[in-house]
Amino acid sequence: MFPLIRNRRLRTSEAVRSLVRETLISPSDFIAPLFIVEGNGVREEIASMPGYYRYSLDLLKHEVRDLWDLGIKSVLLFVKVADDLKDNKGTEAINPDGLMQRAIKTVKDLVPEMYVMTDVALDPFSSYGHDGIVEVGRILNDATCEVLTQMAISHARAGADMVAPSDMMDGRILYIREGLEEEGFINTGIMSYSAKYASAFYGPFRDALDSAPGFGDKKTYQMDPANRSEAIKETMMDVEEGADIVMVKPGLCYLDIVRDIKNEVNVPVSVYQVSGEYAMVKAAAEKGWLDHDAVMMEQVTAIKRAGADLIASYFAKDVVKLL
Ligand code: PBG
């Protein structure tokens, strides 16, 4: 009781504050997302994501080397696909010589220890910009799971360590797990986007990959931002189906969900701090309205404090450089 107890005692110096700090950020907390394009010598800045780039495979190597040297041990690969390769079947997604498959090999050849995760979803490959196969305006569930399974197997074959289905079809974790097992990829993991919300924060990402939905929205498969218990249900199902890591996405607006899930499951929980979250900080900092580094550190700390074991973030490199 006051005045015997004074909470400010443990705040009197940085030394004591660091001794009692509950949440520490380290390079191995991060998964760095990477955007990859065809070509040579390409390093194009994404207009709505200042300081973030799409790389061709040759320049991707420098970036991967940089990340590894900084202590970042995992990357999450996304590819931007030319319009003429997009269709309604995911043909290019399962092409053994596709950009994703070549990117996986490029990273593994360069830094074999780097833990390579890959995006498994049809939207970058879809002529409709949807995460599933479209039939008269509807997104087919089971037919999509079949293609996602083929896609996951082709990533595993190319050398991916873990596949990350970001589509939100029902049952896709079970489909993919069984497919990987049948092909002998028993150590290829699955990080499931388990509680992925139909969020407006994905806008800049869709610019980065030119993957915005051609009609409608994603509300028939991604979750309603108003729902909380449903996130637990989704996540528990993914764990039962064989997910090694589960994910909540986006980050900041959903930290209550992160804590709920952390309390509920016994697998690692990851959080995706998404493109819109990144863009907001960059924009406000450009205007001189926020202290970029301080806000960035506060945000990743909050995500970890809420219960994230891992954070997929466009800030990964910036954060680690500051540590
Ligand atoms: C799509 C996918 C999206 C993101 C990752 N995978 C966008 C979407 O669902 O439309 C968003 C990531 C971000 O905004 O940073 N499968």
Which pLDDT tens digit goes with each residue over 153-188?
999 999 999 999 999 999 999 999 999 999 999 999
Tell me the CA–centroid distance for residue 159 and ligand 1, in Å.
23
The answer to whether 164 touches 193, Cβ cutoff 8 Å, is yes
Q: Report how far residue 55's alpha carbon sits from residue 118's, in angstroms, rounded to the nearest whole number.
A: 16
| Residue 168 Rama label (left phi>0; alpha psi -120 to 50; beta) | left
Residue 288's pLDDT is: 98
Can you give the pLDDT at residue 211? 94
What total number of domains does the chain contain? 1
Token pair 């764990």 in the structure block, residue:
239
pLDDT at 146: 98
Atom 14 (ligand 1) nearest CA: 202
Is 40 within 8 Å of 47 (Cβ atoms)? Answer: no
pTM metric for this prediction: 0.98
Atom of ligand 1 nearest to the CA of 121: 16
User: For the chain, what is the radius of gyration of the CA atoms?
Assistant: 20
Would you say residue 144 lies in a domain? yes
**Per-residue model confidence (pLDDT) at position 153:** 98
Residue 10 included in any domain: no
Ligand 1 pocket member 274 (CB < 6 A): yes
- Atom 7 of ligand 1 has which residue's CA nearest to it? 202
**Residue 9 within any structural domain of the chain:** no
Catalytic residue among 61, 80, 89, 196: 196
Residue 284 sits in a domain of what CATH number?
Answer: 3.20.20.70
196 catalytic? Reply is yes
Does an H or E element contain 133, and which?
Answer: none
Dihedral in degrees, nearest 10, Cα atoms 137, 219, 90, 49 = 130
Q: Decide if 15 is inside a domain.
A: no
Q: 14 in a domain, yes or no? A: no
Residue 162: inside a domain, yes or no?
yes
Does some domain include residue 190? yes
Q: How far is CA 286 from the centre of its chain?
A: 25
Ranges under pLDDT 70 in the chain? none
| Structural domain harbouring 164 | 25-322
Distance 233 CA to ligand 1 centre (A): 21
Percentage of residues in the chain having pLDDT higher than 90? 100
Residue 219 appears among annotated catalytic residues: no
Any domain includes 201: yes
